[in-house]
Amino acid sequence: MRRYLARKLIIYVVTFFVAATIDWLLPRMVPGNPVSLLLAKMNLQPQTYNATYSLYMKAFGFNRPWWDQYLNFWRALLHGNLGVSIYDFPKPVTSVIADYVLFTLALLIPAILLAYFAGNKVGAMAARRKSLDNTVLPVGYLLTATAYPWLALLLAFLFAAGGIGHFFPISGGFSYGLIPAWNWAFMWSLITHWFLPFLTLFLVAFGGWAIGMRNLIIYELESDYTHYLEALGAPSKLVRRYAYRNAMLPQLTGLALQLGVIVGGAVVTEVTFAYPGLGYLIFQAVGNDDYFLLQGIFMFIIVGVLVANFIIDIIYVLVDPRTRVGISGA
């Protein structure tokens, strides 16, 4: 077990290293200087231009040799310093992120967990009952073939903009007139603003999980050990339990792989609903050419995904007993 986890850990460290390096490299490989682009927006007087230019260059360390910048980057990173926002100068990236991160987590975590478990349950049921399967299969495929922005727009149109009704607000994280406070009105506002984005993420992910689980269960039900159990008269309950347990393993691996996809979906959904999460923030940062904010969010997301991956690996070890005996599970 330790070897398995240790190996995963090494891969994550390497991933982190590579991702951070890509992150650091990108703005420097881009044509044009981020500082001059920034200054171009500022409408400065020619006299002040040069001074402001060298100020910013110094502030962002662009005047140092590249290996120095790279080392500096790592030094800052390991201290939890993700740099300073260009657009919101001099606000540190970490505090900008802090304002938005909770909204994204509130969206992602319930959506992922619910879609995963509900999808697995429905997929398993569809694998056993042909009648259910005839609905689940096409619906699941259609859901998983749906582009996130489209479903978001559709739901917004139908339930917020008046297509069917104005049941939910169309944008924002909470009503603009309210001051954030721990009272029921504010909580309710949070929830109503949260619901449609959550539903979007949930539905698409749910389709994928249901289909996946259905296929895996069918595969397990056709395996030799299932046939042996049936030949020995085991009731279908036992057979189903074994099939479900065994199908969970590749599904767990799949969960880790899908995290990246659903994060992408969250970005698009948040933008549609102007929901103030990290995805929305990325969008703003791109629009404002705020490179450091972009970089910082990227690193943050990477760390989040790696941590989530590691948690899933630990769960995998707990669920697949073979890994504990030292036989590699995945």
Partner 1 sequence: MALEVDHLQLCYRTLRGDVRAVDDVTFTIDDGEIMGLAGESGCGKSTLGNGLVRMDVRMRQLAGRVELDGEELPISDEKAMRSFRFKSVSIVPQYAMSALNPTRRVGKMVSELLKSRGFDYKSALPELERRVKLVGLDADVLKRYPIELSGGMKQRVVMVISTLLNPSLLIADEVTSALDVSTQRAVGEMLLEFRDRKFVKSTMVITHDVSILAQVADTILVMYAGKLAEKASADVVINSPLHPYTQLLISSLPEVGVRHDEHTLVGIPGRPPPLLNPPAGCRFRDRCPFAFDRCAEEPPFMEVKPGHSVACWLRTKGAAPAGGAEPC
Partner 2 sequence: MTVVGHEGDLGTDEPVPVDKAPVDSTGEALTAKKRFEFLYFAVRNKKLLIGLSVVVLFALVALLGPLFVKHSMLAYGPPFRPPSATYWFGTNYFGQDVFAEFVYGLRESLFVGLLGGCGATVIGMTFGFLAGYKGGMIDEALNVLCNVLLTIPGLVLLILIAGFLHHTSAVIEGLLIAGTTWTWAMRAIRAQTFSLVSRDFVGLAKLSGEKSRSIIVREIAPNMSSYLFLVFILLFGGAILVAASFDFLGLGPSNGMSLGIMMEQAADWSALPLHLWWWFVPPGAAITCVVGGLYFANVGLDEVFNPKLREL
Choose the contact partner of 133 out of partner 1, partner 2, none; CB within 5 to 8 A by kind. Answer: none
Contact status: 260 vs partner 2 (CB under 8 A):
yes
Q: Which is nearer to partner 2, 55 or 307 (CB)?
A: 307
Site string for partner 1, 205-224 (x = CB under 8 A): ------------------xx
Contact status: 129 vs partner 1 (CB under 8 A):
no
Q: What kind and span of H or E run contains 3?
A: helix 2-29
Question: Any idea what DSSP says for residue 88?
Answer: T
Question: Any idea what DSSP says for residue 186?
Answer: H
**Closest listed residue to residue 93, CA positions, set 288, 287, 266, 300:** 300
Contact status: 330 vs partner 2 (CB under 8 A):
yes
**Closest listed residue to residue 123, CA positions, set 281, 234, 256, 251:** 251
Q: How many residues bind partner 2 (CB under 8 A)?
A: 79
Amino acid in position 186 = F
C-alpha of 327 from chain center: 31
**Closest listed residue to residue 244, CA positions, set 162, 124, 149, 143:** 124
Subset of 192-231 contacting partner 2 (CB under 8 A): 204-205, 207-209, 211-212, 215-216, 219, 222
From candidates 36, 61, 228, 257, binder to partner 1 by CB under 8 A: 228
From candidates 42, 109, 142, 238, binder to partner 1 by CB under 8 A: 238
Contact status: 316 vs partner 2 (CB under 8 A):
no
Q: Which is nearer to partner 1, 238 or 257 (CB)?
A: 238
Contact status: 20 vs partner 2 (CB under 8 A):
no
Contact status: 14 vs partner 2 (CB under 8 A):
yes
Scanning 58-66, 228-236, 246-254, 314-322 for contacts with partner 2 by CB under 8 A, the matching segment is: 246-254
Instruction: Give the HSE-up count for residue 124: Cα atoms under 13 Å, Cβ half-sphere.
Output: 19
Contact status: 157 vs partner 2 (CB under 8 A):
yes
Question: CB neighbours of 213 closer than 8 A, spacing ≥ 6?
Answer: 119, 120, 122, 123, 124, 127, 247, 251
Scanning 59-67, 82-90, 247-255, 314-322 for contacts with partner 2 by CB under 8 A, the matching segment is: 247-255
Are the beta carbons of 118 and 212 closer than 8 angstroms? Answer: no
- The CA angle 90-92-272, to the nearest 5 degrees, is 105
Smallest distance, partner 1 to C-beta of residue 322, A: 6
How many helices and strands (H and E) does the chain possess? 13, 0
Are the beta carbons of 281 and 297 closer than 8 angstroms? Answer: yes
Subset of 267-286 contacting partner 1 (CB under 8 A): none
Scanning 6-14, 63-71, 73-81, 93-101 for contacts with partner 2 by CB under 8 A, the matching segment is: 6-14
Contact status: 121 vs partner 1 (CB under 8 A):
no
> Which region, left, alpha or beta, applies to residue 178 given φ > 0 means left and ψ of -120 to 50 means alpha?
beta
Choose the contact partner of 322 out of partner 1, partner 2, none; CB within 5 to 8 A by kind. Answer: partner 1
SS3 category, 310: helix
Cα–Cα distance for residue pair 314/194, rounded to 1 Å:
30
Contact status: 144 vs partner 2 (CB under 8 A):
yes
From candidates 235, 261, 264, 318, binder to partner 1 by CB under 8 A: 235
Residue ranges that bind partner 1, judged by CB under 8 A: 223-225, 227-235, 237-238, 242, 245-246, 249, 320-322, 325, 327
